[in-house]
Amino acid sequence: MTTPLRQRMIDEMTLRGMSPRTHESYLGAVLGLAKYYNRSPDQLSIEDVRNYLLHLERERHISWSTLNAAASGLRFLYFKTLKWEPAQMDIPPRKTPSRLPEVLSREEVDRLLSAVENLKHRTALMTTYAAGLRLSEVTHLRVGDIDSSRMAIRIEQGKGRKDRYTILSPNLRDQLRLYWKQYRSREYLFFGMHPDKPLNDTALQKAYTQAKEKAGIRKSGGLHTLRHCFATHLLEAGADVRTLQVLLGHTDLRTTARYLLIRREHIQAYASKFDLLMVPAKAPGI
């Protein structure tokens, strides 16, 4: 059941064009607060909110990123929905420790992709890596987004509600053609249980985790690691940071520039620097 306060918050987020993931995150933060006190959030005091955040940090030991998300959701509720003045509730922004992502080598990516037996999952993971996509971007790719004549993939309404194009490498194009022959997707390229619905994010995450384990890869990180690998390997192949920024869809060049810190010192020359896939196009059993 949606309470009037919850609906007000949803309306405020909708008017600001916030993504479904942000809706889920912010509403989850407010729900956690309400459950902790067993009271409506608009009946709580400033100290109640601060004590709840301290509880999350000191007793539940949640991660910095999760605590940041909770604080952001509560700020939105009180500042935007309930119209409190910021001075009424001082929740300082949390500064997340700067950590560089752990990336796989090209050989490790090769082993990981080779370990995936399911053709749909294998092709989706290859697409994630070879085009540098976020999880939600690859699962929501539509058939018409693949432009083989221009060797490009269109990403519609990615993070920040921005459209962009990224590269379609020859190896990925060939793999997508093999995939198409078997699945004949109608709307979503990688569909789920229903042909008109996208592949479930959790299913693809699980496929990545299982493949990593099967390939004997012990490095940390989930499926988003493949996007980090795309960025790092392209820089190692000689791509410039500005081009990489466009391909990744980053607003701030500084976000892209951090990959300069994790590339190998000696850049290797590849036969085709924009074709990162070492694994040839392959259908199951071949």
Helix axes 64-75, 46-58, angle to 10 degrees: 170
Active-site hit among 134, 164, 212, 228: 134
Active-site hit among 8, 80, 159, 282: 159
Its sign, for the CA torsion 136, 142, 148, 154, is negative
Its sign, for the CA torsion 104, 211, 157, 11, is negative
Active-site hit among 80, 173, 224, 258: 224
Active-site hit among 106, 121, 212, 227: 227
Give Dmax (Cα) for the chain.
65
Nearest one of 66, 80, 83 to 32, comparing CA atoms: 66
Query: Under a CB-based contact definition with an 8 Å cutoff, are residues 144 and 188 in contact?
Result: no
Residues 114, 112: Cα–Cα separation, whole Å: 5
Active-site hit among 122, 140, 228, 250: 250
Residue 122 is among the residues annotated as catalytic for this protein: no
Nearest one of 78, 79, 87 to 43, comparing CA atoms: 78
Query: Under a CB-based contact definition with an 8 Å cutoff, are residues 208 and 226 in contact?
Result: yes
Residue 208 is among the residues annotated as catalytic for this protein: no
Residue 159 is among the residues annotated as catalytic for this protein: yes
Opening angle at CA 19, ends 4 and 1, nearest 5:
25
| Backbone phi, psi, residue 166, to 5° | -130, 180
Residues 171, 277: Cα–Cα separation, whole Å: 6
Residue corresponding to tokens 């391909």:
247
Query: Under a CB-based contact definition with an 8 Å cutoff, are residues 130 and 279 in contact?
Result: no
Rounded alpha-carbon distances, angstroms, from residue 91 to 43, 52, 71, 75, 271: 18, 11, 7, 8, 52
Amino acid at 111: R
Residue 266 is among the residues annotated as catalytic for this protein: no
Active site (catalytic) residues: 134, 159, 224, 227, 250, 259
